[in-house]
Amino acid sequence: MRIFYVTLNTAEEAGRIARLLLERKVAVCCNWFPITCAYRWEGRIVEEAETVLLVKTQPGRRAAIEQAVAEVVSFTNCIAELAPESVNAPFRAWLDAEVPVTPESDLPRS
């Protein structure tokens, strides 16, 4: 299993990306929530609202996730891949049933 942590500007962006990923069977589940972000930008410290999208999927889906994100947003954001050490068996079975374990090179491009 993999979880992708994606930073976005709005919940609307997160919802659009989540729907793309679910429709394309790239993800089994997505969650998003508001956060506050502080960062350095062009010599200044900026603090503003952001939204984090969590994408639950199989290994090998980075390119498909990055493609869906790029279809919705054009700004610099973080897309980080996390690999949980373990996942409960019922969730794992659901993931395997909904998102086939297929190498990314074998996935259809949309």
User: Can you give the pLDDT at residue 54?
Assistant: 98
User: What's the whole-number average pLDDT of the chain?
Assistant: 92
Indicate the domain borders of the chain.
2-101
User: Can you give the pLDDT at residue 47?
Assistant: 97
User: Can you give the pLDDT at residue 21?
Assistant: 98
Instruction: Identify the residue with better confidence: 106 or 38.
Output: 38
For domain 2-101, which architecture applies? Answer: 2-Layer Sandwich (3.30)
Q: pLDDT tens digits, residue range 61-107? A: 999 999 999 999 998 789 999 999 999 999 999 999 999 887 554 44
User: Can you give the pLDDT at residue 110?
Assistant: 45
Angle at CA 7, nearest 5°, toward 9 and 104? Answer: 125
User: Can you give the pLDDT at residue 103?
Assistant: 56
Q: Return d(Cα 104, Cα 48) in angstroms, integer.
A: 35
Q: Which one-letter amino acid corresponds to residue 92?
A: R
* Average pLDDT value for residue range 2-8: 98
Helical residues (DSSP H) of the chain, grouped into ranges? 11-23, 62-72, 89-98
User: pLDDT over 70 for what percent of the chain?
Assistant: 93
